């Protein structure tokens, strides 16, 4: 079996092994694949794995040997799943590898907003503490989270993990999700979206990107939020209308934002959030701890192995 990995660098920049895939066939790994090289690099491969390299209907028509598509991520919008289904090609994603890491990162952004740890450490190393007339100093308001309300939009695995950590910090957790379950009720209370917007001191986005969730944070929804709310997003960038959030940050309606995703990645130099007040932006790294990436690698191998054995799993286009 010929296996081609079209963009393997972000998953494995050198600290993991491709040996699991190599046990299943002849593997060719490309760090990145430009659009113009997709068809030639796939060639006569039986199985292809992609993270962000698009697989279109035209690509599949030009590569008739492809029988399996593995997505090295949870989101699979880079693949024309309908075209794949029409050709009898299963598209398999990896749904659960990053739960712990992404939940942890959401809280990490929140704690940085609350304490500005990096800034104050830099200030100490620059000599400001040793030359200070008082025994302590701080440059930003410091925020205690206990007793405040965390509102989570999208209360699936990652949203619930984020809620568990928030609850451990003494926060009240409320959640908005179309699908309610007992696991969620054990962590917080389900409420309607307007109630969540009205009552939350912190709002964290963990919903998938669907037509109904695109732009869910916009001028209208921001107006319903508390003055001084904190907003977190390490789910999908287009959940936010970025100019509306930038305006709210600059006016002070939103106190601060912690974002690990934006609408276009890599971020455009003219993105209005780059110059907005109190806006932390990180380069889509919530998913990237080595432990999380190893789970992703193991799941990718498991998906391909299951398909080879005739029992395909995690198929998103059944």
Q: What is the Cβ-side half-sphere exposure of residue 111, based on CA atoms within 13 angstroms? A: 12
Cα(39)–Cα(45) distance, integer angstroms:
10
Cα(163)–Cα(106) distance, integer angstroms:
10
Residues 6+ apart with CB under 8 A from 128: 137
Residues 6+ apart with CB under 8 A from 265: 237, 283, 284
Identify the bridge partners of residue 33 per DSSP, sorted by sequence position: none
Secondary structure (3-state) at 36: helix
Cα(102)–Cα(162) distance, integer angstroms:
8
List, by residue number, the catalytic residues.
236, 265, 284
């Amino acid at each position: 079996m010929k296996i081609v990995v079209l963009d393997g660098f972000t998953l494995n920049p050198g600290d993991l092994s491709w040996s699991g895939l190599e046990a299943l066939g002849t593997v060719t790994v490309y760090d990145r694949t430009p659009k113009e090289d997709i068809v030639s690099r796939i060639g006569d491969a039986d199985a292809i794995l992609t993270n962000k390299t698009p697989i279109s209907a035209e690509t599949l028509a030009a590569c008739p040997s492809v029988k399996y598509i593995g997505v090295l991520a949870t989101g699979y919008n880079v693949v024309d799943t309908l075209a794949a289904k029409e050709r009898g090609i299963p598209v398999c994603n990896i749904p659960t590898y990053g739960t712990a890491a992404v939940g942890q990162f959401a809280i990490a952004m929140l704690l940085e907003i609350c304490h500005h740890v990096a800034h104050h450490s830099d200030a100490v190393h620059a000599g400001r503490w040793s030359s200070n007339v008082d025994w302590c100093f701080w440059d930003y308001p410091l925020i205690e989270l206990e007793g405040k309300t965390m509102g989570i939009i999208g209360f699936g695995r990652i949203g619930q993990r984020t809620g568990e950590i928030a609850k451990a910090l003494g926060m009240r957790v409320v959640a908005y999700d179309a699908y309610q379950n007992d696991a969620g009720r054990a962590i917080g209370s389900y409420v309607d979206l307007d109630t969540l917007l009205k009552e939350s001191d912190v709002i964290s986005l963990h919903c998938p990107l669907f037509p109904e969730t695109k732009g869910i944070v916009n001028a209208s929804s921001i107006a319903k939020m508390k003055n001084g709310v904190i907003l977190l997003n390490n789910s999908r960038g287009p959940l936010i209308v970025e100019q509306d959030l930038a305006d709210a940050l600059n006016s002070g309606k939103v106190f601060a934002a912690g974002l690990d995703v934006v609408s276009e990645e890599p971020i455009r130099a003219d993105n209005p959030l780059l110059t907005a007040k109190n806006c932390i932006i990180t380069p889509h790294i919530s998913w990237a701890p080595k432990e999380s990436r190893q789970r992703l690698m193991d799941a990718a191998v498991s998906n391909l192995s299951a398909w080879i054995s005739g029992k395909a799993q995690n198929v998103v286009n059944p």
